[in-house]
Structure 1
Amino acid sequence: GRYAEAEPLYLQALDIWQHQLGNDHPDVATSLDNLALLYRSQGRYAEAEPLLLQALDILQRQLGDDHPNVATSLSNLAGLYELQGRYAEAEPLFLQALDIWQRQLGDDHPNVATSLNNLAGLYQSQGRYAEAEPLLLRSLEIKQKTLPQNHPSIQHCWNIFCYSMQKTVEAGKTNQLSDHPITQMILQHIKSDE
Structure 2
Amino acid sequence: MIVSGALAQHTIPIIQQCPQLVSIYILCGNQSIHEEWAKTIPKVKGIYTQIEPICKALQIDQENCDRAMISISFNRIDPLFMYTQLLKEALLQIEDDDAKSIKELVEYCRLQSDASEKTLEKIEEEYRNHSPIWWYTGPYFIYSMLNCGLRQMDVDIILKMGFFIRHLHQHITELHREQKASMPAKFQVFRGQGLSMEDFEKMKKTKGGLMSFNNFLSTSRNREISFNNFARPAAFNPNSVGILFVMNIDTAICSKSSTPFAEVTNKIGFFEDKEEEILFTTHAIFRIDRIERIHDNHSDRLYEVTLTIVGNDNHELNTLTAHLREESTWATGWARFGHILIKLGEPAKAEHL
TM-score > 0.5 by shorter chain? no
Which structure: larger Rg? 2
For normalisation by structure 2, the TM-score amounts to 0.23
For normalisation by structure 1, the TM-score amounts to 0.35
Query: Which structure's residues are more often helix, by fraction?
Result: 1
